[in-house]
Structure 1
Amino acid sequence: AKENAFKKIKEAIKVVKKKPSIQTVWNFNTVVMGIQNYYSVATQITINLNELNLHLRKTLYNQLKNIRTEASFHEMTKTFQKRYKGYMAKLYKIQKMVFVPIHAQRWKKTFCFSQVICNFTAEGREKIHNSLKAIDKNTLSYIMRNYIPNRTIEYNDNRISKFIAQYGKCAILGEELGINEWHCHHINPYYISKDDSYLNLIIVNKAIHQLIHLKDKVKIKTLLQSLKLTSKQKEKVNKLRLKCLNEII
């Protein structure tokens, strides 16, 4: 596993060297954080990641020395600052995207761990599969790897966190969202608030997002007929419409 993690991170560094941009650094960060999250319950995670960091920080330093600049902790997004608070590391950036520290992951205790979960029994495998169904992994992977260049780093960061927090489901319909169905909506419109914070974002179905912003009564009526919202769902939509300075439906 350590060898695989080493290869993945090294490959991500090569991609950054070949095409230095916010997008490729974002890809590097998602690779590192994916490894950190997946192995966080391993009892030797800190030691293992420090071993990887010992070799990979040299690669990061040498391969990117002509294209990177030094960065401070406060240049990270608020989400990253919260995640990596307390870790001592020399940070680098390309443009405005800071590289996350490879070693920065503490061991996490597995609360509510079920000893029934394992790969060797039908019951154990079923529990594993059921837990994996909580979020569509293809959609999550797509969101993590597709950085939106014309939006802020904070927005790109927080939309992932919000998608995970909502288990990949629409906040209004409660349905699981696919790659082409999900939209990230600003509760207080961005053109007014300039607010990309986590609390100002909500994940909704594409059609719901249209319904929140639509002003044409004919189009609204057509959408309502196709969506068949309950009174509670319509109430939620209306709250979001009022925030956008639109009439209730």
Structure 2
Amino acid sequence: MQKLKEQIKIIQKYKSKAQAIKYNAMILGIQNYYNIATMVNIDLGRIGYILTRILKNRLGKGNYKKDILYERRYSKYNYKVWNVNKITLFTLDACKFKVPKQYSPKKKTRIEIDRLYRYTELGDKNWEVLRAKVRYMYNSKCAVTNEYINGNNNFHIHHIIPQKNGGKDTLENLILLKPEVHRALHSKNAIEYYEGNQTYKMLLESLSKYI
């Protein structure tokens, strides 16, 4: 609850797509975790009521204008909503009991957010927020080696299509790389760097075409 309140404050301050998507990721995470509880609609309804009051105080009066992603996920609900930079904030209490699945709520949330917002321009000038978002989306794994990357600063974000060539800050165009892999990609001998590993070599060769 406290984290959601803090995120609403951040949204009020920056009003960016990246922060709105982060809020929606938090909402999805809570819903995916608690929707296996039989009383989920009552429990989240109480918290949702408080959040609605906070949203109203921080972002003004809501309305019923919803983006296509909200309509797709919450088509059976008719809640008043708030839009931030063309992103509709998800509604916490729009959740009902579901039969538990085999995969984890965290993994399900990551898959859903990736599917919903893969082509959305994040438009956030705060690069640290963007880095954190991409790392979360790709589960802290290097796109080339598939190795888990430890630490908060031990990774690089790479634009598949460079910004100078029209590449945008969308999840579809951003990938997570180990620093040494990123350096190899931008070096003159990128392909030779992983000569002994055909998988890495093919991936680097594919990525280097856009540079």
When the two structures are superposed, what TM-score results if normalisation uses the length of structure 2?
Answer: 0.64
- Contact 1:162-1:201 at 8 Å conserved across structures: no
SS in 1 for 2:147: coil
1:96: Cα distance to partner? 4.8
2:197 equivalent to 1:230? yes
- Contact 2:63-2:82 at 8 Å conserved across structures: yes
Identity %: 25
Q: 1:14 and 1:61 mapped to 2: Cα distance?
A: 12
Q: 1:27 and 1:197 mapped to 2: Cα distance?
A: 14
Q: 1:160 and 1:40 mapped to 2: Cα distance?
A: 26
| Residue number in structure 1 paired with 2:43 | 48
Q: 1:160 and 1:106 mapped to 2: Cα distance?
A: 29
Q: 2:41 and 2:183 mapped to 1: Cα distance?
A: 46
SS in 1 for 2:41: helix
When the two structures are superposed, what TM-score results if normalisation uses the length of structure 1?
Answer: 0.56
1:158: Cα distance to partner? 7.5
1:203: Cα distance to partner? 2.7
Q: 1:151 and 1:86 mapped to 2: Cα distance?
A: 35
Q: 2:199 and 2:5 mapped to 1: Cα distance?
A: 50
1:171: Cα distance to partner? 2.5
Distance 1:110 1:73, change over 3 A: same
The alignment yields a C-alpha RMSD, in angstroms, of 4.1
- Contact 2:159-2:167 at 8 Å conserved across structures: no
Structure 2 unaligned runs (5+)?
Answer: 108-121
| Residue number in structure 1 paired with 2:160 | 187
Report the count of equivalent residues.
Answer: 191
| Residue number in structure 2 paired with 1:172 | 144
| Residue number in structure 2 paired with 1:213 | 186
Distance 1:84 1:188, change over 3 A: farther
- Deviation by residue 1:213-242 (Cα, 9 ceiling, x = unmatched): 33x45xx59x93xx7852321122111112
SS in 2 for 1:91: coil
Structure 1 unaligned runs (5+)?
Answer: 114-130, 135-146
Distance 1:232 1:26, change over 3 A: closer
1:89: Cα distance to partner? 2.4
2:33 equivalent to 1:61? no
- Contact 1:16-1:24 at 8 Å conserved across structures: yes
Structure ID, larger Rg: 1
Q: Which has the higher contact order (CA 8 A, sep 6+)?
A: 2
- Deviation by residue 1:120-164 (Cα, 9 ceiling, x = unmatched): xxxxxxxxxxx8xx9xxxxxxxxxxxx872389xx8898366413
- Contact 2:40-2:97 at 8 Å conserved across structures: yes
Distance 1:156 1:238, change over 3 A: same
Distance 1:149 1:237, change over 3 A: same
1:109: Cα distance to partner? 2.4
Distance 1:110 1:177, change over 3 A: same
1:182: Cα distance to partner? 2.7
Distance 1:108 1:97, change over 3 A: same
- Contact 2:149-2:155 at 8 Å conserved across structures: yes
